[in-house]
Amino acid sequence: MSNRMWGGRFASGPAEIMEEINASIGFDKRLAPQDIRGSLAHVAMLGAAGILPAEDVAAIEVGLKSVRDEIEAGTFVFKRELEDIHMSVESRLTEIVGPAAGRLHTARSRNDQVATDMKLWVRDTLDSLDQQAADLQRALSQAALKHAGTVMPGFTHLQSAQPVTFGHHCLAYVEMLARDRGRFRDARARLNECPLGAAALAGTSFPIDRHATAAALGFDRPTANSLDSVADRDFALESLAAASICAVHLSRFAEELVVWTSAQFNFVRLSDGYTTGSSIMPQKRNPDAAELVRAKSGRIIGALTGLLIVMKGLPLAYSKDMQEDKEGTFDALQALSLCLAALTGMVRDLEPNAEVLARAAGSGYATATDLADWLVRELGLPFRQAHHVTGRLVGVAAAKGVGLEELLLLEMQEAEPRITDAVYAVLGVTNSVASRTSYGGTAPDNVRKQAQAWIARLA
């Protein structure tokens, strides 16, 4: 038999495989809260505009709230043959209130309905992700304040470069997350226009008040073009793009945790709460939580790529291809939420190994730049000449198997006769980080001020 919700044009029901490929209720049922919110706003507007009688509006509102209660209680039965969340809600509404339920769909289409539902869901999710990112920023800022003076090696090319502090390293991710949150807010601001009332693609002849519906749902305004209203999935793409960049940031930090917790580095330790063991090697402590954060960036980026490919060849306005926006968006943003929660827990849990970090900070001639800067500042050498002198001294120290600070003054003076014993003051890692006082530099006082400022901003 034909689908009784829309089957007037059809004499028979869909083929079995058609139902398999067409039905979306298995995943779009998570839009139920947003679908009911949109329907309540729509029916209230229909009543206020005089399009529906008050008694029908009242019955539909009571029925929609009953459906919402059933869904929240877990007693609602989702039926595959009804295809999607919109038909499922309307079918149950009909069972509760009778023929009046059929008036709810006046002056709207599933096309503008699903666009509205998705915008509401994405908007709610962006708000939640923003708060989770702020929680991670707080955890990192607190770690930065605690470890503002904990010296560690700074790397370029994963080779020892210059000493920094653990707190400074944490604040780098605070800054990244600040940009991520800015992208979430930008995406939210751009999506905050309401498609409801655009109907299938051309608008409607009913005297609806789209501004009232938009206001009731917390949108800034209604969308201005009915074709664009139902054809657009920019809001999902932009949110996935922001999520992908954020996931890359989280993945980079996760990679560092994987490296740092290895026996070869031993820079930090994670507790049993964020590590796992091996089924065969009893000594193992695996950073599985960090590894999974690193991996999930792939599926988040994949969701963005997948939806871009779905959308790239679609003519206006709505095509069923656009049903493929949901699973990837749901999965990706849920994965990002999980990653943010896991990393926040790990940051609060981890303990830096200060002795190992300090020892590593002095390896690899990490204070060579400090020596070159000293030659420029104290002796007036051009930087390129100072760079050359320092390179020679690094070569001498490497040949002897000692650090720069262990070279004799006479050995240094063979490379540059004007060097004095005052140079030793800049060759220790503690002195090195303390000297980096430029704005944004790693000096502990800088780090404390920045961490305190972030903590206050995030309070």
Residues forming the active site: 157, 278
Please list, in sequence order, all residues whose beta carbon lies within 8 angstroms of the beta carbon of residue 414, skipping any fewer than 6 positions away.
none
How many CB atoms within 10 Å of residue 418? 10
Residue 49, class by beta-carbon neighbours within 10 Å (0-12 exposed, 13-18 middle, 19+ buried)? middle
The beta strand positions in 319-435, using DSSP E, are 351-352
Q: E strands, 225-326, where? A: 268-269
What gap in Å lies between CA 410 and CA 114, rounded to an integer?
Answer: 78
- Token pair belonging to 37: 């919110």
Instruction: Please give the DSSP secondary-structure letter assigned to residue 149.
Output: T
Tokens at 392, concatenated = 């020679």
Distance, in Å, from the CA atom of 70 to the CA atom of 29, rounded to the nearest integer, reads: 13
Strands 159-165 and 151-156: antiparallel
Distance, in Å, from the CA atom of 35 to the CA atom of 194, rounded to the nearest integer, reads: 13
DSSP percent split of the chain into helix, strand, coil, nearest 5: 70, 5, 25
Work out whether strand 221-222 and strand 351-352 pair parallel, antiparallel, or are unpaired.
unpaired
Query: Which positions ≥6 away from 395 have C-beta within 8 Å?
Result: none
Tell me, what DSSP letter sits at residue 286? B
Sequence letter at residue 241 = A
Using CB atoms within 10 Å of the CB of residue 98, give its burial: 0 to 12 exposed, 13 to 18 middle, 19+ buried: exposed
Q: Which helix (H) or strand (E) holds 162?
A: strand 159-165
Q: Which of 12, 178, 5, 150 is nearest to 87 (CA)?
A: 5
